[in-house]
Amino acid sequence: MNSQQQSLLFLHCSVLLFGGTALFSKLIGLPALDITVYRTGVAAIVLLILLSLQKRKITLENTKDYGIAILLGVVVGIHWVTYFAGMQMAGVTVGIIAFFTYPVITVFLEPLLTRSKIKKTPQIKDVLIATIVLFGIFLLIPEVTFGNQVTLGIATGGLSAFFFALRNILHKNYFSHYSGPHTMLYQTLVAFLMLVVFIEVPPLQVTDTEWLLILLVGIIFTAMPHALFASSLRHLSATTVSLISCLQPLYGGVLAFIFLNERVSILTIIGGILVMSAALFETWLVSKRG
């Protein structure tokens, strides 16, 4: 297994776990910001322990990298708050679909930030696949109700998508020389420190059940998949990662149906097939090049 194929394996495992993350926006009875604070705090502790047990270096190589780490932490913190807020307002299925406009955002944002032009054949191909993905995601929406909460939730999900795309591109170009656990340690720590002063529910008022769910989402659904996800960026482009990650709405929709009883329409099934097909095609192309 070469480096690209290993990165693809890491990516698919992380996407599977990411699919379950959305459920915690409904399962944990806390505001989106509080969920993000406790989640990032738990994840940072777990990652620090992991790196210590592996006897890996905790510090970064230079002062510039600390600045990049802070920027990434701020971006990912905003992404997580808006991610949970969008799903709390619009529902898991609609919220996660709104968030998954980020592959299309990435396709157009990456060339701007990396000073490349959308003229080469692979990039045109990415635009075409992203268009199919966007149409599939649109079809995944079971019943759109244009009420205030749903509309605001969709807009918030779109904002989360922008910051997630920005984080992926910045990480790929300026921070991918660090391991997944190493980079996520700094991102979760910065996000925690940035947001902790704004919490509404202090730790002593969080119930035992909520703490168990927070530990679960912090360890299994944050530290582990984000470390795998960050590792995949070392050998895959941010655009490729974004397109393959579009399996997440399908996973999230299935899990929401199982655990939250969110119904699935025929359009959702059709949209899911389009999203999965595009993601699998992108995976096949990367594997073929490897």
Burial of 124 (0-12, 13-18, 19+ CB in 10 A): exposed
Residue corresponding to tokens 């009883």: 261
Contact 161, 99 (CB under 8 A): yes
Average pLDDT, the chain: 84
DSSP states of 191-258: HHHHHGGG-SS-GGGS-HHHHHHHHHHHIIIIIHHHHHHHHHTTTS-HHHHHHHGGGHHHHHHHHHHH
Selection from 55, 44, 8 nearest residue 184 by Cα: 44
Q: Give mean pLDDT, residues 237-244.
A: 73
Residues 188-228 have pLDDT tens digits of 999 999 999 999 999 999 999 999 999 999 999 888 887 78
Q: How far is CA 112 from CA 70, 122, 206, 289, in A?
A: 22, 16, 43, 25
Rounded-to-integer distance, Cα 238 and Cα 228, Å: 14
Q: Is the pLDDT of residue 155 over 60?
A: yes
Residues 111-138 have pLDDT tens digits of 788 766 544 545 677 778 778 888 877 7
pLDDT on residue 121: 47
Residues 254-273 have pLDDT tens digits of 888 888 888 767 877 787 78
